[in-house]
Amino acid sequence: MKLITEEISDIQIITEGKGAKKRMCIEGVFLQGEIKNRNGRMYPIQTLANEVNRYNESFVRKGRALGELGHPDGPTVNLDRVSHKITSLVQEGNNFRGKAQLLDTPMGKIAQSLIGEGVMLGVSSRGVGSLRMTNEGHKVVGEDFMLATAADIVADPSAPDAFVSGIMEGKEWVWEGGILREQLAEKTQKRINTLVDQKTLDEHKLSLFNDFLSNL
């Protein structure tokens, strides 16, 4: 399962309440389906709808839908970097519109300060899932897609695709004992080291190397 992130820059800043009850929120499209995005990926709308339903039930409605400030490099939410809580995520056609409340955590205060100083921020969804290449040259996200968070807050929503791909897609993640664990390239090296016959070794080296490249 690949770690997949998608960034969107068109979000609105909303201030609710007055005085001590005043709070800052961000709102906008967090997820998009049935369209090839600039990362060359397409999310079937039913895949997104199914996962958003699960995410809403398990996280949003229970007040556990959290997001971070910045670009995390894994599929879990780090509590020391939490900046906001996602309070709603609803479908509008092929889009899923979300709303998040900025929290009074250290990272939440940084986000509020940046917004107050006029910094343009965006959101980036983060999840894990399989990818299938189509004949048209783009990748389709599989039905096993799972959201880690519907929105992290990022300062560079227009970051080059290579930056995102390099960090997010150079690793694979698997379920092991109910926990997402990282699989690194060392696994390939370990398999090579177990081969003792030279001819078999050469054949497997080429095969494993091609498999490794195809998964980058």
Residues taking part in catalysis: 71, 124
What are the DSSP E strand ranges found in the chain? 2-8, 11-16, 23-32, 41-42, 66-68, 82-92, 95-102, 122-129, 131-133, 139-141, 146-154, 172-176, 179-183
Residue 188's contacts (CB-CB under 8 Å, 6 or more residues apart) are 208, 209, 211, 212
As given in the structure block, the two tokens for residue 20 are 């001590």
9: three-class secondary structure by DSSP:
coil
Give every strand in the sheet of 131-133, ordered side by side: 41-42, 139-141, 131-133
